[in-house]
Amino acid sequence: MEELLLLVFLIPIIGSFLLPLVAKFSETLRNVLSLVFVLSAFACSAALVPSAMAGNPASVHFWLPMGFSFGFSADGLAVFMALIASFVGAIIVIYSFTYIEHSDHKNVYYLMVTLFIGAMMGLVYSTNLIFIYIFWEISAISCWQLIGYYREPEHVLRADKAFLMTVFGALVMLAGFVLVYQQTGTFDITEMQGAELGNAAVLLILVGLLSKSATLPLHTWLPDAGVAPSPVTSLLHAAVLVKIGVYAFARFFIFSFNVDPMWHKVVPIVAACSAIVSAGAAMVEYDIKRIIAYSTISQIAFIFLGLSINNKIGVAGGLLYIMMHSLAKGGLFLCAGVVEHSTHTKDIRQLGGLIRTMPVTAVAFLICAFSIMGLPPLGGFFSKYMVVSGAVFADSPWIATVFIFGTLMTIIYLMRVFNAVFLGTSPAKIVDIHEGSRSMVASALSLAVFSLIGGLLIYYPSEFVQTVIAQIGGLLS
Amino acid sequence: MPVLFLMVPLCGIFLLNLPKRSIAAKFASWLVGLICVLLGVLAATSQMACWKPFNEAFVLPFSDLLSVDWFSAVMLFTIAMVTTAANAVGFDGEDRKKVLARSLLLICLTGMNGIVMVRDLMSVYVFLEITAVSCFVLIAIDQKIEALGGAFKYYILSGVATFAILIANAFVFMNVGSLQFADIQAALADAAAGDGALDLKISLVLFVIGLCVKAGVAPFHGWLPDAHASAPSAVSVLLSGVVIKVAGAYLILRLANEVFVEQPAARLALMVLGAFSIAVGAFGAIAQHDMKRVLAFSSVSQMGYIVLAAGLGSTLALMGAVVHIVNHAMFKSLLFVNAAAVKEQTGTTELDELGGLTERMPMTGWTSVVGLLSAAGLPPTSGFWSKLLIIMALFMADRWVFAIIALGMSIVTLGYLLMLQRNVFFGKLHAGLEELREARKSLTITALALATLTSVVGLAFPVLFYLLSQMGYV
Amino acid sequence: MSEWMILLPILVPAAGAGVVFLLPKQLTAIQQAVAMLTAAAGLAITILLFGRELTFTKNWVGFGIYFDLRLYSFSAMILIVAAFAFLTVLYASVYMKDRGFSRSFYGFVLLATSFVSGAMLANNLVLMLFFWEGLLGILFALVYTGGREASQTAIKALVINGCADLCLILGVCITGWQAATFTMDQISLPLMNYWTTFGFVMMMIGAIGKAGSMPFHSWIPDAATDTNAAFMAFLPAALDKILGIYFLARMTLDLFVVIPGSKMSHTMMIIGCITIIFAVLMALIQKDYRKLLGYHAVSQVGYMILGIGTALTVGIVGGLFHMVNNALYKGCLFFTAGSVEMQTGTTDLKVLGGLGRKMPVTFAGFMVAALSITGVPPFNGFFSKELIFDAALQSNVIYFVIAAAGAFCTAASFLKLGHTVYFGEAPRNLRDTREAPWPILVPIVVLAFACALFGAYNVLPLQYLIEPILGERLHHTYSGLPHSWLLPAISAVILVLAVLNHRYGVKKSGKPVGAVDHIHHARPLRSLYDYAEAGSFDPYKGVSSMLESLAIILMGIDRLIDWVYTGFATGIATLVADGIGRVHIGKHWMYVLWTLAGAVVVIAIVFGIGG
């Protein structure tokens, strides 16, 4: 078990640096190996499930002086996140095979994507704040390289913007970590279970989380990151990047520390502002990827709401939301990628009527959009419902009302995109459009199908999440 | 054994200046490289027990003046490493100049080695001057007008520093009657705010000023951007990589913690200067349009971190400062080596005339990514750990303002380094650079070696940390 | 009987839908057969289950959210759903033949049947929400595939219903919070505090929104013209209305304790009245067979809400009875509309005429249904309307007056419709019109027969289907003839007035289609009508444009935040940087000056603190 825990992140991280070397012999082998590395993370995580569920998680610990440590542990939360990230990541890698077939720097692409997922694995399994920070920054670095992948001046500038904003947040968070260290004398989370955290430390850490998870007021890099290739945006939004912040939120403020009850009010309010403002922006934008990016910002707010509201149904909803949103948002971006790949435009004003030429993509898009909107029987319904009811059960129905309004806006802006891109008549400029390649469409559709399955078989993820929450103990009211 | 660190380079100078200049020119780089590697190995092993019998068996002249503790060993290793890099970058021009330059390189090396090994203020002064003089000439060796200007400014400000240090020495001598570190420390401990307080304070002020000029800490840094940017590439590597650290930061650390201990006012002064330097360097770098000038300002900023930590003086801070010296030596030489490669391949280091070089010079491009990450203090590179230690130390000492400056300027650092990266290596290939090729082997190999070292130290830091703690250094 | 049986009304249609979707496109006949068989099986199952009590509970999502189904007198209404599904599929087998999307239509009709059954059987609020909201996507798909260019209407339907459903979510959350359980038969909340009332209002909005009351109605008239008649017939009976009214009744009866005459009761009644009168006024002037019916579909919901909103036993019985009746006659009317459209190719009243003799069965079906909806005894509409009138009069006479006015307009508009389409001489191009084929006629005849049966023998629906629902609240049966003679007398007067008005209108305008033009063009109404026709009163449009303005403001906030980073922060940094860059002039004296300045600072610190 312990070996698996190390392999789960070492294989993709070390493996990623082998990919450029492998490419010297065979490009196909590189692509396949990249997939294999990501899948290995999935397989290892899956193998860690039984012990995590049984309540005796596998763990590795080396103690270093001065409260430093080198520790990894596979508890329920970590395994849950790792499974989602690696699974969606694997689908995105498959999708990439054809998507970036004809671009330069493919080595960089596969290296960074694999490294990204490896860093995510390291992050979720780490029990040490410093290692969490390290993997956090590795993910920021890969993200920086991937956003600027096409190397247009505009792209590089936006990549730098994203990098700067996330690193800024991370540095502030690091200050928060040091405060925690000052207070507890250790960087190891397992050592400070249940510690009361000062408000300054919470605030500092929160800045980091918000910047990584693109929440108001540190969100503006995310829409700009839409210049990245579609599988990358999908990766950022669905599998790894923005989920890091919410994962860390769950890890710190739900599973580890006790915080001032004030934060159970403040974070939902911040999240509410984020949800509404970004939803409004999504209703105005014309770039399909920017719209979906704003949608992510808006949806992440729901996750924050669920996790911060401090009751079990809300937290369970938040965790399920991470899963459902990953599947559906990944699917949306992959569909957007198919559209972009075939039509070479992202402007919804120049698109239309694609449901006739690209029916499978349209249906996949619609299903994923429905899941994001929270329509049953798709998975998004349950998570959204539980989050909202968590807010109500925490005696803040007004917050819930605001989020319900946000959901209404979600429906409107997603239908606006769907309408503009797939319905109506296609403009004259767009001719000779055909469905995307088989592997691309299949990846997108598979995410849609998994959204559906996730809803129909909600019993199993919900059971999983309930077990995870049961392991927290008394930290939740 | 410590004498070897002085004798070996001196022998090298002797060998280089044998009559047959053409042969010397041919083998100069190999010879200097060999010497540097040899010294590096010596330095790395100097703290091992195996040297003990030799030290006892061969008592050479001056041996009692020199000593190598672990701090010196680290410095010696850093010096050797950076000099190797500078040597690999090399000099262009006719044979005579090449030999001359390499001889000066060795003199500089000797001077620096001396600084880190001696234990009395007078010897420190002497070696400081040896280093400085060799550097003036090295900067100006191409006899270009900007380089001459740079050397001149360095000379002027160095003069101020020399003056300050010499006077300070005099005050100390007047007070204590000895310039040995141990004697001074003992006398100060006895006197403990006794009669000599005023003299002591004056000497402290003078030392701070003098060493800060040498270290290039703002506002004493005026010479640094001009000198570092206008110097030949190899000299830039040397200057930014190690000279400012040995002549400035190392001495500040050594004096503050072994000689003038328990001086809160001087410490505060150092911290204020350090924080100011961090900010000035970082913001100054943003406005630059030349790759080497950006890097030079970056040095000002990074020296600020070291001086800030040296001023704080807690164990954690000292550890951070030492590690940062090594890290900065690694990544700054790496970046200057890459700047040399860019200059060599494109003929310019102006940011506006560059762009997209990674496409044609992948090794240079990717190694400088490692360098920039390390400079910005981002994991998994080594720069992260030293910055973390410094910031931790500031927080633990409740120095909030300094902590916030140190942390906040990290983001500005990242900002200007990203700007550098964006304008030089990323983006689309700049027009007119279509024929560009990768730099020569010696440069890329040096860059690769330094980048590898930076990442390996970063990755293996927990292990190093563990070993250090086992050996009782932490 | 095994408890698993209760799953069959949900699973069987869903499985049928799955098969239909998975079959290759070309096998139209097989798809049709599968759909028909499934619908028939579903009907058989519901008949089998009728009158039984079953419960089924399984762990589901946790946190008090169980997969909890309960079959009892109320949820037995799935019988109507199943029956309509069968009739619709039968009807569609001919009607949808050349329309494209026939596979999707069958599939989604079956899916809808499954979900509606689930929502009605659910005994857990969240489970109900699951099925209830699940219909949203199906509704979108049905509207989209129902018409060739119905995408805008489909989106409108989705957004409007989504809005109502979101309110329902909030209502469910708040109710569950206040009641501390989601199990429906354990909830009985008095409307005591602020939050309970809020929860009630939210749930009520969900229910009436689903039922298509004002202000959630505006997609229905659009759908009536844009989609097809089979869908429109299916909609009230098996999709929206039945569910909305079912839940509204359930709320008033079980989940909350609504006191007659309370604020909530009045709120519901006012909404009901507004819906009745405004929708029927719009229906009055329509010149399109289906659009006219579409507005009536809205208007009739008003009666149901009015009835249930009284919170009186007689009103609730009337409302539920009216819901059943409405399903029957409105289904029948839309089927006739489809039949006419199929045979003549149009539903425009200006070109239709004289079809009574050409299409006698359709005509007969129409007559029965129209008499039903206008409330002519002995058809079913009469009895349910009288019950509602009774309840309205008991609450407040104003409600009664409005309801009566609604009845007048209903009668007037159907006189116009029937007269125009079926009487008189057929225009030249309709001379060769023939009766529709039997799969079209069977549903019409069945429904017409049911209208007559439920009216003449109203003991059947009332005593077997509706009155058991009220349980203990029921003191005596409402079946049989109306108890007082006053209300029927007033109704008779209204009908007579309507006929007189019709005669006047026909005379005045010279053609039956213009029978209500004198109302349409009356002074104050005319401009209002013009605005309404232009969509100015469509809340969807108003709210959409408001949201758009809001979105622009929010976008402004977003850009402002972005500017703080890209403009402000970088601007400051550049400013500082330029300043620093500018003082590096490259002159050594300058640098010496700095050194001196630095020296001063150092001296100040060292002597300031130490001294």
Q: Is B356's CB within 8 Å of A151's CB?
A: yes
Which candidate from B395, B396, B428 shows the least CB-CB separation from A153? B428
CB B317 within 8 A of CB B394: yes
Give me the mean pLDDT over the C256-265 stretch.
Answer: 83
CB A35 within 8 A of CB A93: yes
d(CA A427, CA C155): 20
Range of weakest confidence among A263-272, B193-202, B375-384, C134-143:
B193-202
Of B466, B328, B320, B323, nearest in space to B395 by CA: B320
CB A238 within 8 A of CB A209: no
CB C305 within 8 A of CB C213: yes
pLDDT of residue A368: 92
Claim to verify: residue C599 and residue C531 sit in the same structural domain: no
pLDDT of residue C80: 81
When pLDDT is cut at 50, 70 and 90, the band that residue B192 belongs to is low
CA quadruple C166, C172, C174, C177: dihedral, nearest 10 = -150
Residues 6+ apart with CB under 8 A from B402: B271, B274, B275, B308, B312, B394
Q: What is the pLDDT of residues A414-438, one digit of tens each?
A: 998 998 888 877 777 666 777 778 8
- Strands C256-257 and C189-190, sheet pairing: parallel
Claim to verify: residue C495 and residue C568 sit in the same structural domain: no
pLDDT of residue C337: 86
When pLDDT is cut at 50, 70 and 90, the band that residue C24 belongs to is confident
d(CA A41, CA A115): 12
Q: What is the pLDDT of residues C366-419, one digit of tens each?
A: 888 888 888 887 888 888 888 888 888 888 888 888 888 888 888 888 888 888
3-state secondary structure of A60: strand
CA quadruple B182, B183, B184, B185: dihedral, nearest 10 = 50
pLDDT of residue C291: 84
Q: What is the pLDDT of residues B79-121, one digit of tens each?
A: 999 999 988 888 887 878 888 888 899 999 999 999 988 888 8
Mutation for testing the B interface, residue in A17, A135, A154, A171 having most B CBs under 10 Å: A171
When pLDDT is cut at 50, 70 and 90, the band that residue A474 belongs to is low
CB A447 within 8 A of CB C187: no
Q: Is A178's CB within 8 Å of B415's CB?
A: no
Of residues A363 and B51, more confidence is placed in: A363
Claim to verify: residue C531 and residue C583 sit in the same structural domain: no
Q: What is the pLDDT of residues A188-208, one digit of tens each?
A: 888 887 778 888 888 999 999
Chain-centroid distance, C-alpha C282: 17
Buried b (16+ CB within 10 A) or exposed e, C254-292: bbbebebeeebbbebbbbbbbbbbbbbbbbbbbebbbbb
Tokens of C520: 């349409």
Give me the mean pLDDT over the A58-72 stretch.
Answer: 80
Q: Is B403's CB within 8 Å of A163's CB?
A: no
Percent of chain A with pLDDT over 90: 15
Q: Which residues pair with B304 in a beta bridge?
A: none
Of B135, B300, B174, B168, nearest in space to B225 by CA: B300
Residue B195 has pLDDT above 60, yes or no: no
Cis ω on the peptide bond leading into residue C378 (within 30° of 0)? yes
Claim to verify: residue C529 and residue C602 sit in the same structural domain: no
Buried b (16+ CB within 10 A) or exposed e, A161-194: bbbbbbbbbbbbbbbbbbbbbeebebbbbebbee
Whether C444 maps to a domain, the answer reads yes
Mean pLDDT taken over chain C: 84
Cis ω on the peptide bond leading into residue A359 (within 30° of 0)? no
Whether C528 maps to a domain, the answer reads yes
Task: Tell me which residues of chain C have a C-beta less than 8 Å from any C-beta of chain B.
Answer: 573-574, 576-578, 580-582, 584, 586, 588, 590-592, 594-595, 597-599, 601-603, 605-611
Q: Which residue is closest to C608 within chain B, CA to CA?
A: B265
pTM summary value: 0.90
Cis ω on the peptide bond leading into residue C468 (within 30° of 0)? no
In this structure, how many other beta carbons lie within 10 angstroms of the beta carbon of residue A234? Answer: 33
Residues 6+ apart with CB under 8 A from B398: none
Tokens of A273: 């502002």
In this structure, how many other beta carbons lie within 10 angstroms of the beta carbon of residue C567? Answer: 12
Chain-centroid distance, C-alpha C433: 34
Q: Which residue is closest to B464 within chain A, CA to CA?
A: A64
Tokens of A86: 């690696």
Give me the mean pLDDT over the B24-41 stretch.
Answer: 86
Q: Which residue is closest to B293 within chain C, CA to CA?
A: C581
Q: What is the pLDDT of residues C267-282, one digit of tens each?
A: 888 888 888 888 888 8
Of A301, A317, A298, A308, nearest in space to A254 by CA: A308
Chain-centroid distance, C-alpha B133: 16
Claim to verify: residue C577 and residue C512 sit in the same structural domain: no
Q: Is B427's CB within 8 Å of A156's CB?
A: yes
Q: Which residue is closest to B356 within chain A, CA to CA?
A: A151
d(CA B212, CA B207): 8
CB B176 within 8 A of CB B191: no
3-state secondary structure of C475: coil
Q: Which residues pair with A442 in a beta bridge?
A: none
d(CA C135, CA A376): 8
Claim to verify: residue C428 and residue C492 sit in the same structural domain: yes
Q: SS in 3 state form for chain B?
A: CCCHHHHHHHHHHHHHCCCCHHHHHHHHHHHHHHHHHHHHHHHHHCCCHHHHHHHHHCCCCCHHHECCCHHHHHHHHHHHHHHHHHHHHCCCCCHHHHHHHHHHHHHHHHHHHHHHHECEHHHHHHHHHHHHHHHHHHHCCCCCHHHHHHHHHHHHHHHHHHHHHHHHHHHHHHHHCCCEHHHHHHHHHHHCCCCCHHHHHHHHHHHHHHHHHHHCCCCCCCHHHHHHHHCCHHHHHHHHHHHHHHHHHHHHHHHHHHHCCCCHHHHHHHHHHHHHHHHHHHHHHHCCCEHHHHHHHHHHHHHHHHHHHHHHCCHHHHHHHHHHHHHHHHHHHHHHHHHHHHHHHHCCCEHHHCCCHHHHCHHHHHHHHHHHHHHHCCCCCHHHHHHHHHHHHHHHCCCHHHHHHHHHHHHHHHHHHHHHHHHHCCCCCCCCCCCCCCCCHHHHHHHHHHHHHHHHHHHHHHHHHHHHHHHCCC
Task: Tell me which H or E stretch contains C54.
Answer: strand C54-62
- Helices C588-610 and B197-215 pack at an angle, to 10 degrees, of 140
For residue A161, the chain C residues in CB contact (below 8 A) are 565-566
Residues 6+ apart with CB under 8 A from A54: none
d(CA B329, CA B321): 12
Phi, psi of C124 (to 5 degrees): -125, 135
pLDDT of residue A477: 59
Q: What is the pLDDT of residues C122-157, one digit of tens each?
A: 888 888 889 988 888 888 888 888 766 678 888 888
Task: Tell me which residues of chain B have a C-beta less than 8 Å from any C-beta of chain A.
Answer: 316, 356, 359, 373, 376, 378-380, 384, 388, 391-392, 395-396, 403-404, 407-408, 410-411, 414-415, 418-419, 422, 426-428, 462, 465-466, 469, 474
d(CA A89, CA B334): 35
d(CA A32, CA C393): 77
Whether C194 maps to a domain, the answer reads no
Give me the mean pLDDT over the A11-39 stretch.
Answer: 88
Of C415, C390, C421, nearest in space to C403 by CA: C390
Tokens of C250: 């359930």
Claim to verify: residue C426 and residue C526 sit in the same structural domain: yes
Q: What is the pLDDT of residues C495-527, one digit of tens each?
A: 888 888 888 888 887 777 777 777 877 777 788
Residue A63 DSSP class: E
Cis ω on the peptide bond leading into residue B219 (within 30° of 0)? yes
Whether C282 maps to a domain, the answer reads yes
When pLDDT is cut at 50, 70 and 90, the band that residue A476 belongs to is low
Claim to verify: residue C484 and residue C559 sit in the same structural domain: no
d(CA C298, CA C296): 5
Claim to verify: residue C284 and residue C349 sit in the same structural domain: yes
pLDDT of residue A349: 85
Of A83, A79, A90, nearest in space to A113 by CA: A90
Residue B420 has pLDDT above 70, yes or no: yes
CA distance C556 to chain A (A): 8
pLDDT of residue B112: 92
**Every domain of chain B and the residues it spans:** 1-117, 118-471
Tokens of A107: 């080595």
Q: Which residue is closest to C551 within chain A, CA to CA?
A: A280
- Strands A69-73 and C189-190, sheet pairing: unpaired
d(CA A259, CA A236): 29
pLDDT of residue A367: 92
When pLDDT is cut at 50, 70 and 90, the band that residue A376 belongs to is confident
Q: Which residues pair with A69 in a beta bridge?
A: A63
d(CA B128, CA C345): 104
Tokens of C55: 């419960």
Instruction: Give the residue numbers spanning the domain of C595.
Output: 554-610
d(CA B159, CA B132): 10
Q: What is the pLDDT of residues C557-577, one digit of tens each?
A: 989 998 988 889 889 988 988
Residues 6+ apart with CB under 8 A from B22: B95
CB C470 within 8 A of CB C253: yes
**Using CB atoms and an 8 Å cut-off, which of residues 222-251 of chain A contact chain B?**
none
Claim to verify: residue C398 and residue C530 sit in the same structural domain: yes
For residue B392, the chain A residues in CB contact (below 8 A) are 178, 181
Give me the mean pLDDT over the A249-254 stretch.
Answer: 87
Mean pLDDT taken over chain A: 87
- Cα(first)–Cα(last) distance of chain B, in Å? 26
> What are the strands, taking DSSP E only, across A185-248?
none
Of C170, C82, C169, nearest in space to C120 by CA: C82
* Upper half-sphere CA count for residue A263 (Cβ side, 13 Å): 25
Claim to verify: residue C580 and residue C462 sit in the same structural domain: no
